[in-house]
Structure 1
Amino acid sequence: MAITADHIRTTLTVYLDAHPEEKPDLVPVFDLLDTGSDITSRKEFRGHATVGAAIVNTDGRILHIHHRALNSWLLPGGHLESQDTSLLEAALRELAEETGIPADAVTSVGDQPIHIDVHPIPANDAKSEPEHRHVDFRFLFRTTADVRQLQTDEVTAASWRGIDTLKATLRQRIAAALPDTRSTALPGC
């Protein structure tokens, strides 16, 4: 069964119980859900759900991928698929697709997102997509595995980087969840 609006609403509600200070950023997502918008569809350009995998290795470094279309370093992740049954499962699927790291080589740190980020995505003429918004549900994982096979049509490189390369909120959440990652921030990583 595909991810439902109820699953997304429940995930948002549980997340806001833990992080009420983020409510103003997420009210527009609830508004979309309240109007019946299908935010699981990448064709909902006012905002649609995506997933990300913040995956930490044994050295406390975070995996980044270089995204071909956006030409930037990001966490592994992407759009929901009809076969996904949960946001967590979708994040694991995207991680495996983009990096070749299988789900059985990964341990989830909790079953709820560590961060939800709403951000703009530029227009993509090749896909006939206007500028739009992603509601990115980011989950935290640990692994002893390394990148195996990149999804070269979307990813051009992968790199394990220090936690200091992440934006403040995500960096703070990971450091709180995994205290051993605090000391891995090396200059120039």
Structure 2
Amino acid sequence: MNPLDKTRRPAVPRPAGTEPPALVVGVHLVLLDGDTVLLGRRHNTAYADGLWHLPAGHMEPGETVTRSMTREAREELGILIAEADLTLAHTLHHLDADDGRSRLQLFFLPARYDGQVRNVEPHKCDALRWWPLVGLPADTVPYTRHALGEIARGNALSTVGWPT
């Protein structure tokens, strides 16, 4: 018998103050063109203004991770991606030093997309540019640089910001 087929045990109440941690889930689009990757320079946002970052956003209630990624691609870049055309390239468990929150950052590669890449949110992104993967700008969001390096090395999972 498969252990996953067994009947679940009744839930045991948790002692006060031991709830599982709330986890913020971010989705990131890794658009590649040969040896280059598309980055946008953040502008007028609550995070990392002036730094280069992948097109990204957060899951909204009721969304799957793939639906969230396709929505963000449409909202930020004006491109259409089918959920089935997304491949999870990297998962980063990030402890944010700014707010102490645990974040799960998911990085997706699209097999294809429809439309022309354009800056649909100039009020949040003051530039889009293709950068060489081996020559990212110094002012790239640190965890973005880390994740792109891990993807290039073929690593599916990493952590950043956690005590060693």
Identity value in percent: 18
1:149/1:74 Cα in 2 relative to 1: closer, same or farther (>3 Å)?
A: closer
Partner of 1:158: 128
Q: 2:75 — aligned with what?
A: 97
Match of 1:173 among 146, 154, 161: 154
TM-score normalised by L of structure 1? 0.53
Determine the C-alpha separation between the residues in 2 that align with 1:50 and 1:80. Answer: 6
TM-score by length of 2: 0.60
The 1:83–1:51 alpha-carbon spacing in structure 2 relative to 1, beyond 3 Å, is same
Contact 2:119 2:128 survives alignment (8 Å): no
Paired residues, what number? 123
Work out whether residues 64 and 158 of structure 1, in 8 Å CA contact, stay in contact via their aligned partners in 2: yes
Displacement of 1:88: 1.8
Structure 1 residues 32-71: Cα deviation after superposition (integer angstroms, max 9, x where no partner): xx944442xxxxxxxx1111111223x4421111122412
- AA aligned to 2:26 is T
Output the amino acid matched with 1:93. Answer: R
Counterpart of 2:53 in structure 1 is: 74
> How do residues 1-189 of structure 1 correspond to structure 2 at under 5 angstroms?
35-39=19-23, 48-57=24-33, 59-68=34-43, 69-71=47-49, 72-84=51-63, 86-103=64-81, 108=85, 110=87, 113-121=88-96, 123=98, 130-143=99-112, 145-164=115-134, 165=136, 166-167=145-146, 168-173=149-154
Q: In the TM superposition, what is the alpha-carbon distance from 1:76 to its structure 2 partner?
A: 0.8
Return the alpha-carbon distance in structure 2 between the equivalents of residues 152 and 102 of structure 1. 19
Contact in 2 for aligned 1:51/1:80 (Cα 8 Å)? yes
More helix by share: 1
Unmatched 5+ stretches in structure 2:
1-17, 137-144, 156-164
Q: Between Structure 1 and Structure 2, whose CA radius of gyration is higher? A: 2
Verify the 8 A CA contact 2:119 2:127 in the aligned structure 1: no
Distance 1:173 1:67, change over 3 A: farther
